[in-house]
Amino acid sequence: MNTKYTTLHSITFFALLSGLIFLNSCREEEVENEGLPLPVTSLQETSAAKNFEYIGSIEGVESVEIRPQVDGILEEIYVDEGEFVKKGQPLFKINSQPYMEDYKNAIANVNLEKAKLEKAQSDVERLQPLIDNEVISEVRMKSVKADYQVALSSLQQAQAQAANMRINLDFTTIKAPVNGFMGRIPKSIGNVVKQTDSEPLTNLSNVNDIYVYFSMSESDYLYFERAKNDTLSNRVNDEVKLVLADGSIYENSGQIDANSGQIDRTTGSIMLRAKFNNPDTLLRSGNTGKILMEEIYPSAILIPQSATTFIQDKKFVFILDENNLAQRREIITKGRSGDNYIVDAKSLSPDDRIVLSGIDKLASGIKVKPIQRGQLTSSL
């Protein structure tokens, strides 16, 4: 009895299993006939921008090395590192006593030469009547007048020397030549500073506007120069952007206002300069960033990078024909715009349908069931 029951149970199980397999195979055949469900999109023309990035260094429009014009002991430091100072504001004080004594000595020499000149002038005036009355010869008068010219020249020399001493005395107070932010101050009070020091006392930067210096290859330079006069629809954006060290894009756009005028033979590149407004002084001299230049495409065909596959150095996408059969097609790209490729119009056309993902499952001739991306999970 148990044997018959077991046999009947086995027959029933295998019958049900065969039925499930049959139903599943029918479903797979149905799915296969409909095609492989994959996300598909129709291409459209849209505006796009191709980016070019160049590493740059940032400097204030006025960046000045503050160096001593006279030698001496540093007595006072009136400002601190990083402080904003105005033009003419005192920054440092060098011991002025030696230069004050030199100036006093020069003034004394001026007074001495003035006295000599007055004496020479007096001699000329005293002898002139004698010359007129022919009491003495004209040779004597010429000698006296020569002495007067010597005294006059000596006075002028003494005055120039005194002016020079005054300049040196004024140099003992070092003032800001421009508005700007103080840099690092390597010297401290009591150090001897000299005109020949290799390191400046500090650097002063006016960063209300900043320059970004960057270099590009000769080929890129020629490309952009030609694009200025290009009659095609593509154009290079007149404004450039600045990508900061943290990856953010600076809020103010800039303009390229100068270049070095010649190609560096050793590197094959040319140096350019872009100017940016910096009203909040966020950017400082010494910062780094990237210059972002854009080539504008008013009408471009974009495809996601994830929709492409590579065979050696060539790019391919899968397009669908009118029967939803996949066909592999080679594409030529002009560059990238964000996460998309800008495709040459000879490779793809508007309204072409391409497979967006799952391309590792495809080969030419496989039928695809086009679905919306959001429906992919539920369909599978």
Q: How wide is the angle at C-alpha 277 spanned by C-alphas 274 and 279, nearest 5°?
A: 155
| Residues 6 or more apart in contact with residue 137 via CB below 8 angstroms | none
Whether the per-residue pLDDT at 366 is higher than 80: the answer is: yes
* Amino acid at the residue 200: P
Predicted local confidence at residue 58, as pLDDT: 93
Residue 45's Cα: distance from chain center in Å?
33
Mean pLDDT throughout 73-96? 94
Predicted local confidence at residue 232, as pLDDT: 58
Percentage of residues in the chain having pLDDT higher than 90: 46
Predicted local confidence at residue 372, as pLDDT: 63
Q: CA 154 to CA 114: how far, in whole Å?
A: 9
Nearest Cα to Cα of residue 212 among 85, 338, 86, 63: 63
Contact criterion met (CB below 8 Å) for 172 and 78: no
Predicted local confidence at residue 33, as pLDDT: 63
- Per-residue model confidence as pLDDT tens digits over 190-228: 999 999 999 999 999 999 899 999 999 999 898 888 877
Predicted local confidence at residue 338, as pLDDT: 82
Q: CA 223 to CA 219: how far, in whole Å?
A: 6
Whether the per-residue pLDDT at 26 is higher than 90: the answer is: no
- Per-residue model confidence as pLDDT tens digits over 245-282: 999 999 999 999 888 888 888 889 999 999 999 998 89
Mean pLDDT throughout 56-67? 92
- Per-residue model confidence as pLDDT tens digits over 125-148: 777 776 666 666 666 767 778 888
Predicted local confidence at residue 361, as pLDDT: 85
Predicted local confidence at residue 319, as pLDDT: 92
Nearest Cα to Cα of residue 319 among 375, 377, 365: 365
Mean pLDDT throughout 275-293? 91
Q: How confident is the model at residue 124 (pLDDT cuts 50, 70, 90)?
A: confident
Whether the per-residue pLDDT at 374 is higher than 60: the answer is: no
Q: CA 165 to CA 237: how far, in whole Å?
A: 56
DSSP-derived secondary structure for 246-276: TSPBPSS-EEEEEE-SS-BTTTTEEEEEEEE
Domains detected in the chain? 51-60+209-297 (2.40.30.170), 68-93+172-199 (2.40.50.100), 96-170 (1.10.287.470)
Predicted local confidence at residue 195, as pLDDT: 93
Q: How confident is the model at residue 346 (pLDDT cuts 50, 70, 90)?
A: confident
Predicted local confidence at residue 88, as pLDDT: 94
Point out the least confidently predicted range of 48-52, 99-103, 109-113, 318-322.
Answer: 48-52
Backbone angles phi, psi at 191, to 5 degrees: -75, 150
Whether the per-residue pLDDT at 117 is higher than 50: the answer is: yes
Q: How confident is the model at residue 23 (pLDDT cuts 50, 70, 90)?
A: very low
Mean pLDDT throughout 68-96? 94
Contact criterion met (CB below 8 Å) for 136 and 127: yes
Mean pLDDT throughout 287-316? 89
Predicted local confidence at residue 85, as pLDDT: 94
